[in-house]
Amino acid sequence: MAKLLEGKPLAEKIKEEIKAQIQALGIKPVLASVLVGENAGAEAYVKSQSKAAENLGIVYQFHKLDAATTEVALIEFIKKLNSDKNVNGIIIQMPLPAQIDYKKISQFISAEKDVEGMHPANIGKIVFGKAKILPCTPAAVMELLNSTGVDLYGKEVVIVGHSEIVGKPLALLLLEKFATVTVAHIGTSKAGKLEEHIKKAEVLIVAVGKAGLIKGDLVKEGAIVIDVGINRVDGKIVGDVEFEAAEKKASYITPVPGGVGPLTVTMLMRNLVEAAKLQK
Ligand code: NDP
C-alpha cells in the first residue's frame, strides 16, 4: 500500500523557511494581486492567497478592476505596478474577461516581479538550469518528489499533459535531475499509446483534468504517482488517477484534494521572496 504524499505538512515546513528568509530580507515583501471583474472562484483564490500572505508577514495588496477594463488599460495598470518600488511581485487572477488575452498581458509583467514564473525570461532560465523563480505547480510537484528522498537520476518519468503551466516546464525541471522524461498528451492517447507509457513509469505525473483517465491497475508496482488533476464528480473533488486501485500498486501517491494543491500557494509566496531578493 502506498504512502500518502500530502502537501500540507510539506507546505508548513517550507513556510518556516520562507519566514526565516523574510526576516533576513529585513522588509515586508509586497504582493500586488489584480482581479478584473467578478468571479467567485477567483475571489476564493484571492482569499486563500491573502491568508497565506498574512501568516507569513507578506503584504497582500489587492486591486479589483472593473469587468469592462480593456486590455490596454490593464497593461497600463501592470506597467504602474512594475515601476512601483514598493511592489515586489504581481499576480493577475484568472479567469479574465473575454476582452483580455492573458498570454498577451502577462508578457508585460516585469520578469523580476513575475511570481507565477511564467514570463518567457523565467521559463527560458529553466532551460539553462538557472531559474530562481519557478512556475508554481511544477515547483510544487518537484517539492513532493524531493520529499520522498528518491533519486530521480535515470528514472523513467512519464508526465501526462503538456500544458504551458504544468507539463512543459515540469519536463525541463525533471531533465535537470537527469530523469528520462516522456511527455504524453492528447496525441499519445489518440494514437492508443497512453497505456504503454503509464505501465513503464517509475514516476507518473498526471495533469490533464479528466477524472478516471488513468486506470489504477496500469500503475507500475512501486511507482511514485503525483496527481495534479482537479475534477468535480458528484460534488466531490477527485484527481485524474483512479486512486483506490493506484494506491495498491504505488510506493507513494498524492491524495486529491490535499496533495499538490496545498503547496502551490506556498510556491507563489516563495517566488515572491525570491523576487524581493533579486530586486535587492
Ligand atoms: P490544460 O487543459 O491546459 O492541459 C491539459 C493537458 O492534458 C493538455 O496537454 C491536453 O492536451 C492533455 N490531454 C487532454 N486530454 C488528454 C487525454 N485523453 N490523454 C492525454 N492527454 C490529454 O490543463 P492544466 O495543465 O492547466 O491543468 C491540468 C489539470 O491540473 C486540471 O485538472 C487543473 O485543474 C489541474 N491543476 C491543478 C493545480 C493544483 O494546484 N493542484 C494547478 C494547475 C492545474 P491538448 O491540450 O493538446 O488537448
Could you tell me if 114 and 90 are in contact, meaning their C-beta atoms sit under 8 angstroms apart? yes
Q: Does the CB atom of residue 258 touch ligand 1 within 6 A? A: no
Contacts of 78 (CB under 8 A, 6+ apart): 34, 90, 92, 105, 108, 109
Cβ of 230 closer than 6 Å to ligand 1, yes or no, is yes
pLDDT in tens, 199-241: 999 999 999 999 999 999 999 999 999 999 999 999 999 999 9
Q: Whose alpha carbon is nearest atom 12 of ligand 1?
A: 161
Q: Which of 163, 198, 265 to mutate to test the pocket of ligand 1 (most atoms within 8 A of CB)?
A: 163
11 CB near ligand 1 (under 6 Å): no
How far is it, in rounded angstroms, from Cα 153 to Cα 145?
12
All structural domains of the chain = 25-112 (3.40.50.10860), 136-261 (3.40.50.720)
Q: What is the grid cell recorded at 1?
A: 500500500
Spatial separation of the C-alpha atoms in residues 113 and 82, rounded to whole Å: 7
- Alpha-carbon distance of 31 to 62, in angstroms, equals 8
- The tens place of each residue's pLDDT in the chain, 280 residues long, gives 999 999 999 999 999 999 999 999 999 999 999 999 999 999 999 999 999 999 999 999 999 999 999 999 999 999 999 999 999 999 999 999 999 999 999 999 999 999 999 999 999 999 999 999 999 999 999 999 999 999 999 999 999 999 999 999 999 999 999 999 999 999 999 999 999 999 999 999 999 999 999 999 999 999 999 999 999 999 999 999 999 999 999 999 999 999 999 999 999 999 999 999 999 8
- The protein residue with its alpha carbon nearest to ligand 1, atom 3, reads 163
Look up the pTM and report it: 0.97
Distances (CA, A) of 273 to 11, 123, 178, 229: 15, 18, 28, 27
- The answer to whether the CB of 266 is under 6 A from ligand 1 is no
- pLDDT score at 44: 94
- Closest ligand 1 atom to Cα of 260: 41
How far is residue 30's CA from residue 185's CA, in Å, rounded to a whole number? 38
Q: Which residues pair with 91 in a beta bridge?
A: 33
Residue 237 Cβ contacting ligand 1 at under 6 Å: no
**What is the atom index within ligand 1 of the atom nearest the CA of 137?**
42
